[in-house]
Amino acid sequence: MRHTRLLSIAMIIACSVVALPAAAQTDAQDRATAAQSRLMRSAAAQDQDNNKTARPDHRKDKAVQDAVRYPLATRKEPKPKVSDEGGKQLSEISKAFAAQDFSKTRSLADDFLPKASTPYEKSLAYEIAGSAAFSQKDFASATTDFQEVITANGLDNNGHYDSMSNLVASLSNSGKYPEALKVLDQFLAETKTTDKQYADMRLSLLAHTGNAGDAVAAYKQRLAKDPNDRAALQNLLATYQQGNNNAEMLALLRDRYKQNLLTTPEDLRYYYIALLQNSGTNWKEAQEVLDSAVAKGTLPKNDQTATAYSVVAQSAFAQDQWNIALADYAKAASMSTTGDADLNRARILAGQGKKADAKAAAQEALKKGVKDPAAAQRFLK
């Protein structure tokens, strides 16, 4: 079962990767299911204490037991205790969260918490409230709530350390990177997890706390060991970008391109964007990358690719390479949903004395729609 830890990993990585992979809303049902599972396990455990011979051990039922995610943790799990009334109210809080009514979730939790009678009740209520606050991007409140989960110390290891992981995410999204790194180091020390995703989280936080050199060295080491480590590549690119190390970023991408290691649309976009940041000298190389990727079908023919071709065309035009600029604007126009590239074609064609062709291009621009219709209308006279 997925749980809140996926949300925390996604959000931490999102802080450092160029393209953000957010996943906050998709895990809401899983988090609510996990909360319900905790309540069921608590009830089953108490039933066993009250009548050991009369009831089956529901704790062994897969429907009410999460897989152990932190098997190396040495923390002694507290025994879950919940009152009948507390269980009812926690169930209502969980149902509100499952319905993604996050405001109601937090309101119910606020009403219940002063009446919570056990560490377990407090921890579970704060866990759900923190997840609701996180879903609403109220990271300050989420930070407080997840810290309270840990302080109350009432959940099993899954819940306890999931909340610690989410505390890292909440601190990071609040811009409190040193504090997030400190909590993450505590999390790693206590769980002894070797999950590579948490290593990525730590390197990302290092890059945000003035230790970019350490992060870069670690990412390079990982790429040397495994050139196909996409997480290492994306975070290394992000670290370079955050430090405005465009030359190093371009050198990395150029080298990987020569080795045929840039194979996805995302990889290739990183590359041509890096090239076009200095389009005056790199536009020809960017054009070759675009032509090859479009021909192979690696880059889609869409507005994003059309924009890249338009930047190449503009750079070619600036260096008096009019025919090349015209060809690239034509490529852009063929895959664009707007008429801006067609309007630029009309301008170049008119400058070459090709009035009929310029008129046809302007008509196409108006048909698709342009920001400045009057400019296109002038070529129709």
Q: Per-residue pLDDT tens for 129-158?
A: 999 999 999 999 999 999 999 999 999 999
Please indicate, yes or no, if residue 354 is contained in any of the structural domains.
Answer: no
Query: pLDDT digit string (tens) for 352-381?
Result: 999 999 999 999 999 999 999 999 999 998
pLDDT for the residue numbered 208: 86
Q: Are 181 and 205 in contact (CB under 8 A)?
A: yes
Q: Of the given ranges (2-11, 66-75, 76-85, 182-191), which has the lowest mean pLDDT?
A: 2-11
Work out the pLDDT band at 204, boundaries 50, 70, 90: confident
Q: CATH no. for residue 65? A: 1.25.40.10
Q: What is the mean pLDDT of residues 210-237?
A: 90
Q: What is the mean pLDDT of residues 229-242?
A: 88
183: containing domain: 1-244
Please indicate, yes or no, if residue 79 is contained in any of the structural domains.
Answer: yes
Please indicate, yes or no, if residue 317 is contained in any of the structural domains.
Answer: no
Query: pLDDT digit string (tens) for 259-303?
Result: 999 989 999 999 999 999 887 889 999 999 999 999 999 999 999
Please indicate, yes or no, if residue 346 is contained in any of the structural domains.
Answer: no
Please indicate, yes or no, if residue 210 is contained in any of the structural domains.
Answer: yes
Higher local confidence (pLDDT), 100 or 54:
100
Q: What is the mean pLDDT of residues 26-32?
A: 50
Please indicate, yes or no, if residue 345 is contained in any of the structural domains.
Answer: no
Domains in the chain: how many in total? 1
pLDDT for the residue numbered 291: 98
pTM for the whole structure: 0.62
Q: Of 358, 295, 298, whose CA–CA distance to 331 is shortest?
A: 295
Please indicate, yes or no, if residue 163 is contained in any of the structural domains.
Answer: yes
Q: Does pLDDT of 87 surpass 60?
A: yes
